[in-house]
Amino acid sequence: MKNTTSSKSVFNSIFWLRALLGLSTGTFSGILGFTSASESADLGLFFALTMYLFSIALVRNFYSNKINTDERWKLFTTGIGTFIGLFFFSWILYDTLFVVNL
C-alpha cells in the first residue's frame, strides 16, 4: 500500500499533463492545417486521439509504479474530459481567429 498523498500528487500531475497536451494538440491541429477550410479537418480528431494514446503510454511508463494497484484505471481516465474540452476549445479558437473562410 502506497501513500495516498503521493498518489494524489501523481494524479494532479497527470491531470495537468493532459490539460497542457489537450491545449497544445488543438493548437497544433490548427497549425498543421486541420481546420474548417481544409478537406482534411477530420484528421484533427485523429491527431487528438493519437496524442491521447501517447499520453496513456507516457503515463503508464512514468507513473504506474507510483500508485496503488487498485488505482490503475485512473491512469487512463484522469484528465480525459479536460483533454477533450481544451482540445476542442483551442482548435475552434484557432479556426476562428486565424482561418479566413471565404
Residue-by-residue pLDDT tens, the chain, 102 positions: 455 557 889 999 999 999 999 999 999 999 999 988 888 889 999 999 999 999 999 999 999 888 888 888 999 999 999 999 999 999 999 999 998 764
How far apart (Å, rounded) are the C-alpha atoms in residues 26 and 33?
Answer: 11
Sign of the C-alpha dihedral computed for residues 27, 33, 38 and 43 taken in this order: negative
**Torsional class of 33: left (φ above 0), alpha (ψ -120 to 50), beta (otherwise):** left
Judge if pTM exceeds 0.85: yes
Domain that holds residue 17: 4-98
Task: Go through the chain and tell me how many residues it has.
Answer: 102
Quote the number of domains for the chain: 1
